[in-house]
Structure 1
Amino acid sequence: MTHELIAAPLTGEGLAERAFRDPHRPRFHFTSPGGWLNDPNGLSHWNGVYHLFYQYNPLAPAHHRIHWGHATSTDLVTWTDEPVALVPGTTGPDRDGCWSGVLVDDGGVPTLVYSGRHGERELPCVATGSPDLRHWTKDPGNPVIPAPPTGVDVTAYRDHCVWREGPVWRQLVGSGVRGRGGTAFLYESEDLRHWRYVGPLLTGDAAHGTPADLDWTGTMWECVDLFRVGDVDVLAFSAWDEGTTFHPLYWTGRYTADRFEPTALHRLDYGRNYFYAPQSTLDAHGRRIMFGWLQEGRGEEATARAGWSGVMSLPRLVTQGADGALAQTPVPELEKLRRDHVAVAPFEAGPDSPLDAIRGDQLDLEATLRLAPGATVRLAVRETPDGAERTVVEVTRDTTSPSGTLRLHREASSLDPDVDTAPRHGELPFGADGTVELRVLVDHSALEIFANGRALTARVYPTRPDAATGVSLTAVGHATVDRLDAWRMAPITTGPRPLWP
């Protein structure tokens, strides 16, 4: 995907050292050693090892001349930095960046399909790897598709989804048809090098709604991802328009006969562009695992001073929900980071329910709530003693329907005027008795919320990070907290890491 921002490299203290010292830097989410991180790429489970590649600039916290960073894990929790997989060429189709793509198994040969950028052009390229996936050789025939489809006025053309289907490979390239909307172009090949254009898999309608709408599909679809969950096919994408990233969405429906027949459009994450460019993979255990990019929400000057930009989401387990939509939860492996358990006895929530035993900026909070019709529960995190800075997770049950709203209030999350504090919200299904299973993961500036399978991701930057560690709970109307458990989460890194592992 694209998001052009060019900043001068830092001088003096190194990027990695400066990044590690930043109090807003997450400690149990994966981050690059320093510099810039964006889209997850090449996500795979290869010979028992999870591989996470990502868009990386080791020179500055800016999206410029992108490399492919690489990290591995055996448990989806702790990660080992591997050598940078792809570096822009001095000449050729990727001289201005190696952009988003995927990893596939070509008869035992690990193969990357990625977008090479040269000037204003992004075209599909291929690289093959060593058996341990640590060393990569670019194909001399790059780009393997020389141009977008002829006769189509595209808004942009990049990012890939590749899979084996019978005797042929199939590929989607994210794009958009000018004057119509975002699309995914379908290709097929016998060898990953010679591709035949089949046609658009599905094309959206950018004239339906406006950019202000939370489900507007944009003029271009970035990071398309086609997969099956349960008995439904899913086409996920991130809505983009003229350089602006909007939000991740997905269609449910049926993929058949070179077409995707949609039945419903859904929001993938209620945090809008704070969970962007997601990519998924099917691991050896048959689980659909997804990562996304948590963009920054503070000013460019602050980001440059910090020496780093971008957070990888926690790995999510994606399943089919009872209502046909996707259900998302953090993978259970993350529970091994839990420390110092605090269990709060069941209680009737009221206008003042302090949780003095729970404090911190690296927390995993789980609660089972039961709300009467019309009730609201508010869980505050990153709260200063005087309440001047606080971030509030709000759950409201409708009075007349079996649903409600999940809302994140960030209006008081920071006193810094350059920080984004706009609220986020989305529809929330409730249990028949008004039950909500709520999980909130707080990791310094990274915040991931899961409620009855729905996800809301955001960033928060208190100006008093040492003091903004309080947690409290309040309610309006009748609400019961049947269970509330809290843990401090252990860090996965203990010091600065080399920018070039």
Structure 2
Amino acid sequence: MSVMPADPHLPVAHLRPPRNWINDPNGLAFHDGHYHVCFQYNPYGPEHAHMHWGHFRSPDLLTWEELPLALAPTPGGEDADGCFSGNAVSDGDRMVAFYSAFRADRWAQPVTTAESRDHGVTWTPRGSLLIPGLPEGATMYRDPYVWREAGRWRMLVGSAWADGRAAALLYESADLERWEYRGPFLERAPQPVAPGADTGLGWECPQYLHSDGRGALILSAWDPDRGPRRTVVYPGRERDGRFLAGAPALLDHGPDFYAPALLPAPDGRWLLWGWSWEARDPGWVREAGWAGLLTLPREVTLAEDGSVRQRPAAELLALRDGRALTAAGDTAGTAVLGTVGQSFDLTARLAPRTPATAGGLRLVTSADGTEHLDIRIDSAAGELVVDRDHGSRDPRAHGGTYRIPCPEARTGGPVELRLVVDRSVAELFLPSGRTLTLRFYPTGGAPWRIEARAGGEGRLGFTVGAWNLRPYTMRYAADSGTDARLTDVGLVRP
């Protein structure tokens, strides 16, 4: 048995290979009894280059098998410099992947396809463009999203117009081969969605969540000078091939979430994975040898008010190991609730005794208490504040404070939350369906300590439970069929 050196920041319950670069989730589909999750992947190093599609599949969202690379650039071909983002569909006995064909000698990333007839193990590229002609006036063109609706196939492509409007372009087909351009599904000039954030000059990775005549258009905001920014969602409904949109909002309120992708599950649920990028300096990334991870799979639903609600997929409850702590009471200062491992799932109910009390939780990750992640109630603003300014003692880690709307904080009512932490990623979920994702890089080692902390002169009531997380069971392609698990001592290969 060989053991890879432990990396305290490599997650155990988030999808990614043990090394190298990943970014956008791609090719999400349910086919032949398996969830298929592909992703942008550089098999040669931890930098954004040489884009291939990596590929995992699972029967249950808990046990994952790495398949051979799904897509690779074709020397001299339409995708010679990268197989960029897109999605996949299950069509009878085959899977068809739609993706952006990148070549350095052209500005656009037109759509091409590849096909698998052996359940995703091998793929055959078409070798030509699916849609060779692009709409006049487009200054960006990439990232197809294909779905079946009312007996026809439909496709959105991310775009931008020369006049400064972002656009999602609509195509339709009867057979996945011949596509008719229907025009812009939605087009908008940049609109503000949060302080310092807007809907962007161009849209990447369009995704369409729809149910009972209502819909939500999920778009990743892109800027030609600054690149990827944040992911936004427009609620609304479709009429005659056009999306009638309401006011936009952030899909995730954290700094480290982008390019989510949808998967319609066979039980009627919609699942979503996002890309969580690194929040540390490139030099540290190179030393670590890996960059990026996929978020937990999330169940997404449309609320009556048109908002998108997210929560961890129900299957992930099976990753909860023995209960690490149970605590209830109140404090006028700081109460130490217990310890957890470096990957855990926590639920909390925080009840300030007066609205001005505020307070919250602190995850202490060093023995001397100098390294910690804070979640504070801001009753004046009606928000939760997640503060990672002291999340790592390594100066190469990024800091910052981030806010998620929480109206009950303003009224002084109890605040409920679920926090899943997996070594270097934290995903916060509220009962409203709002989420916040961020990365942080503790250096202190396990165990970590959970504290409840009152603010001001008041008291804070609390009820907290936490479970350590079991790792996913992983089988890697390089292992020739042997199982492997990501554990607290690294990647163990039998």
TM-score, reference length from structure 2: 0.89
Kindly indicate whether residue 190 of structure 2 is the aligned counterpart of residue 168 of structure 1: no
Counterpart for residue 318 of structure 2: 336
**Per-residue deviation, residues 314-370 of structure 1 (Å, max 9, x unmatched):** 001112346542221111211112122144342124321112x22321111111223
Counterpart for residue 366 of structure 1: 347
Rounded to whole Å, the distance in 2 between the matches of 1:112 and 1:471 is: 44
Counterpart for residue 404 of structure 1: 382
Alignment coverage as a number of residue pairs: 472
SS in 1 for 2:109: strand
Q: Which one of the candidate residues 76, 98, 110 is aligned to 1:91?
A: 76
SS in 1 for 2:454: strand
Rounded to whole Å, the distance in 2 between the matches of 1:54 and 1:179 is: 32
Kindly indicate whether residue 474 of structure 2 is the aligned counterpart of residue 488 of structure 1: no
Counterpart for residue 288 of structure 1: 270
**Alignment root-mean-square deviation, CA:** 2.4
User: Which amino acid is the alignment partner of residue 301 of structure 1?
Assistant: G
Counterpart for residue 187 of structure 1: 171
Alpha-carbon contact 1:53-1:71 (below 8 Å) kept: yes
Structure 1 residues 17 and 258: alpha-carbon distance in aligned structure 2, compared to 1, 3 A threshold: farther
Alpha-carbon contact 2:217-2:235 (below 8 Å) kept: yes
**Per-residue deviation, residues 263-301 of structure 1 (Å, max 9, x unmatched):** 2211110113x1110011220111111000010011111
Alpha-carbon contact 1:42-1:52 (below 8 Å) kept: yes
Structure 1 residues 93 and 198: alpha-carbon distance in aligned structure 2, compared to 1, 3 A threshold: same
Rounded to whole Å, the distance in 1 between the matches of 2:253 and 2:480 is: 35
Kindly indicate whether residue 304 of structure 2 is the aligned counterpart of residue 347 of structure 1: no
Counterpart for residue 404 of structure 2: 426
Counterpart for residue 5 of structure 1: none
Counterpart for residue 449 of structure 2: 470
Kindly indicate whether residue 149 of structure 2 is the aligned counterpart of residue 149 of structure 1: no
**Per-residue deviation, residues 109-164 of structure 1 (Å, max 9, x unmatched):** 31111111111431100111114121111114x211114212x141x211111122
Alpha-carbon contact 1:34-1:499 (below 8 Å) kept: no
SS in 2 for 1:191: coil
Structure 1 residues 214 and 326: alpha-carbon distance in aligned structure 2, compared to 1, 3 A threshold: farther
Kindly indicate whether residue 23 of structure 2 is the aligned counterpart of residue 23 of structure 1: no
User: Which amino acid is the alignment partner of residue 59 of structure 1?
Assistant: Y
SS in 1 for 2:453: strand
Counterpart for residue 3 of structure 1: none
**Per-residue deviation, residues 66-108 of structure 1 (Å, max 9, x unmatched):** 1111101112123111111111101211111111111113344
Alpha-carbon contact 2:62-2:316 (below 8 Å) kept: yes
Structure 1 residues 397 and 305: alpha-carbon distance in aligned structure 2, compared to 1, 3 A threshold: same
Kindly indicate whether residue 199 of structure 2 is the aligned counterpart of residue 217 of structure 1: yes
Alpha-carbon contact 2:333-2:459 (below 8 Å) kept: no
Q: How much does 1:446 deviate?
A: 1.0
Q: Which one of the candidate residues 395, 399, 422 is aligned to 1:443?
A: 422
Structure 1 residues 422 and 433: alpha-carbon distance in aligned structure 2, compared to 1, 3 A threshold: closer
Q: How much does 1:192 deviate?
A: 2.2
Rounded to whole Å, the distance in 2 between the matches of 1:335 and 1:387 is: 30
TM-score, reference length from structure 1: 0.88
Structure 1 residues 209 and 457: alpha-carbon distance in aligned structure 2, compared to 1, 3 A threshold: closer
Q: How much does 1:193 deviate?
A: 2.6
Q: Which one of the candidate residues 23, 46, 51 is aligned to 2:36?
A: 51
Rounded to whole Å, the distance in 2 between the matches of 1:468 and 1:26 is: 16
Greater Cα shift, 344-353 or 288-297: 344-353
Q: Which one of the candidate residues 30, 35, 41 is aligned to 2:26?
A: 41
Kindly indicate whether residue 257 of structure 2 is the aligned counterpart of residue 302 of structure 1: no
**Per-residue deviation, residues 381-407 of structure 1 (Å, max 9, x unmatched):** 243222211111223334xxxx82021
Alpha-carbon contact 2:218-2:233 (below 8 Å) kept: yes
Kindly indicate whether residue 371 of structure 2 is the aligned counterpart of residue 389 of structure 1: yes
| Unmatched 5+ stretches in structure 2 | 482-494
SS in 1 for 2:382: strand
Q: How does 1:71-86 map to 2 (within 5 A)?
A: 71-86=56-71
| Unmatched 5+ stretches in structure 1 | 1-15
Structure 1 residues 298 and 230: alpha-carbon distance in aligned structure 2, compared to 1, 3 A threshold: farther
Structure 1 residues 282 and 220: alpha-carbon distance in aligned structure 2, compared to 1, 3 A threshold: same
Q: How much does 1:499 deviate?
A: 9.3
Counterpart for residue 185 of structure 2: 201
Structure 1 residues 413 and 227: alpha-carbon distance in aligned structure 2, compared to 1, 3 A threshold: same
Q: How much does 1:494 deviate?
A: 7.7
Structure 1 residues 229 and 213: alpha-carbon distance in aligned structure 2, compared to 1, 3 A threshold: farther
Rounded to whole Å, the distance in 1 between the matches of 2:477 and 2:16 is: 10
Alpha-carbon contact 1:442-1:448 (below 8 Å) kept: yes
SS in 2 for 1:346: strand
Alpha-carbon contact 2:367-2:444 (below 8 Å) kept: no
Counterpart for residue 234 of structure 1: 216
Alpha-carbon contact 1:383-1:471 (below 8 Å) kept: no
User: Which amino acid is the alignment partner of residue 370 of structure 2?
Assistant: A
Q: How much does 1:58 deviate?
A: 1.0
% identical equivalent positions: 35
User: Which amino acid is the alignment partner of residue 132 of structure 1?
Assistant: H
SS in 1 for 2:296: coil
Alpha-carbon contact 2:68-2:477 (below 8 Å) kept: no
